[in-house]
Structure 1
Amino acid sequence: MDRTILAISGGGFSEEDQAYIDEYLLKIPRKQEPLKIAFIATASNDAQGYIDKFYKAFKNEQSSHLTINDFDSPHIQEIVNDLDIVYVGGGNTQYMLEIWKKTGFDVVLSNAYQKGVILAGISAGAMCWFETCFSEKNEEEFGEFEGLGLLKGSLCPHYNDKERRIAFDHWASTQKNSTLYTLLDNENLHFINEKLVAKIIT
């Protein structure tokens, strides 16, 4: 079974109605509709407004969401394995990964990915799949931290943002023999079995 990741830089349901990249995502699974899709809003600390937008955008699918408290469920692995798509929202990447690793949800996602559950995400939910993340540590500085390592290298979303671009380019100059991706807000990457198969411009 193919392993699939869709890395979304910007846009999506949180910023636009009937976003093309979300429609693209729903066409990836070769299954009957409605699809089982769950939203993970850890990076925004489970912001209710963000979750509400997800349900509005995916109202025609079999939609659900998983909060930080749900990660402690003894059945969390089977719940995630039963999904067609996991959609990870944006926000604080470092905070999200710390929560996932503390609760073991990082392993849950990795296991589900190996079983063919499609992983998708925007911004923080795009860069987290890579070996290394370079993102905000706080309001004043950027830093490097470990990602989930499902994909080689590192990804910089929102590359059109000047401050982020300068910081990432400086960090990238120190990375030897590493695969680095930079995406403007309207650019997205589709990976199958850890290989880039498409760059989608919306």
Structure 2
Amino acid sequence: MSAPEPTIVATSGGLRLGDRTRVAFDALAHHAVELSGVHGRRPRVMYVGTAIGDDEHFAARIGEAARVAGFDLTPLQLFPMPNIEDIEATVLDQDVVWVMGGSVANLLAVWRVHGLDTILRTAWQAGVVLTGVSAGSICWFRGGTTDSFGPELRPVTDALGFLPYGNGVHYDSDEGRRPLVHRLVADGTLPLTHCTDDGVGLVYRGTELVEAVSEAPGKGAYIVSRAGDRAVEERVEPRRLP
């Protein structure tokens, strides 16, 4: 099975503390699986931990989370070398690709070295649902705000560009994100920018934003546009996921 059209779920969430495990997949991750259209078998989910250097301890926790969720998990590791011989065939065999947060700048550089940027575009167009958190959200857009370069937030403007917008993550939990997004949109560094509070995801069919969804109450999504030399923010109320 594959999604009926190219689908991305860009989030500031998708994980929570588990009841019997350190980490569990939350509603946003389950929603991405649902959008893939898989039924009658266990969903095939690829975990990509490039942004945290393929940390083995966290990969083990994600493996536990997948077991509890009923997913068949395939980790893609690029350090110190790819753990899969035919990356493209394996990616295209998945229902969902879920990308962990961390350094979006490092993620983009490593993906490009291995041609994963091109492979993921092919998978997206073939109906594999692309999703992830934080860096795993920004990567699908033209750019966003990041702490990849140090404690002070800076723009990244050379992301994959599958979606022709900027992306702001952790909009309510990192006090520097909102004012920087506004400044970058106002001066034209970022285009029209879509932002998410923690626990919120944005669903795209093709390049069109079709819905905001949330796994936490009281959270919002936002569209920041340029009006002259200033930024204008519009709140989008997300649908609460079960």
Normalised TM-score (structure 1): 0.91
Pairs aligned (count)? 201
- Larger mean Cα displacement after TM superposition, 102-111 or 50-59: 50-59
Alignment of 1:80 with 2:91, yes or no, is yes
Amino acid paired to 1:144: V
Q: Which residue in 1 is equivalent to 2:234?
A: none
Normalised TM-score (structure 2): 0.77
Cα distance in 2 for residues equivalent to 1:84 and 1:169: 35
Q: Please say if residues 144 and 190 of structure 2, whose CA atoms lie closer than 8 Å, have aligned partners that are also in contact.
A: no
- 1:62 counterpart (69, 72, 83): 72
- 1:41 counterpart (30, 49, 63): 49
Question: In structure 2, do the counterparts of structure 1 residues 168 and 176 end up closer, same or farther at CA, with 3 Å as the change threshold?
Answer: closer
Percent identity (aligned): 24
- Structure (1 or 2) with the larger CA radius of gyration: 2
- Over residues 95-136 of structure 1, what are the superposed CA-to-partner deviations in whole Å (9 max), with x where a residue is unaligned? 100111112111111111111111011000001001223322
Q: CA RMSD in A?
A: 2.0
- Over residues 1-53 of structure 1, what are the superposed CA-to-partner deviations in whole Å (9 max), with x where a residue is unaligned? 4111011113x225554512122222112222201111000000011222122
Q: Please say if residues 32 and 129 of structure 2, whose CA atoms lie closer than 8 Å, have aligned partners that are also in contact.
A: no
Q: Which residue in 2 is equivalent to 1:105?
A: 116
Cα distance in 1 for residues equivalent to 2:133 and 2:155: 19
Cα distance in 1 for residues equivalent to 2:170 and 2:97: 21
User: What secondary structure sits across from 1:58 in the alignment?
Assistant: helix
Cα distance in 2 for residues equivalent to 1:181 and 1:84: 25
Higher relative contact order (CA 8 A, sep 6+): 1
1:121-132 equivalence runs, <5 A: 121-132=132-143
Q: Which residue in 2 is equivalent to 1:181?
A: 194
Cα distance in 1 for residues equivalent to 2:185 and 2:106: 22
Q: Which residue in 1 is equivalent to 2:224?
A: none
Amino acid paired to 2:150: N
Q: Which residue in 2 is equivalent to 1:52?
A: 60
Question: Which has the larger helix fraction?
Answer: 1
Q: Which residue in 1 is equivalent to 2:178?
A: 165
Amino acid paired to 1:13: L
- 1:27 counterpart (34, 58, 73): 34
User: What secondary structure sits across from 2:59 in the alignment?
Assistant: helix
Q: Please say if residues 13 and 54 of structure 1, whose CA atoms lie closer than 8 Å, have aligned partners that are also in contact.
A: no
Cα distance in 1 for residues equivalent to 2:109 and 2:183: 25
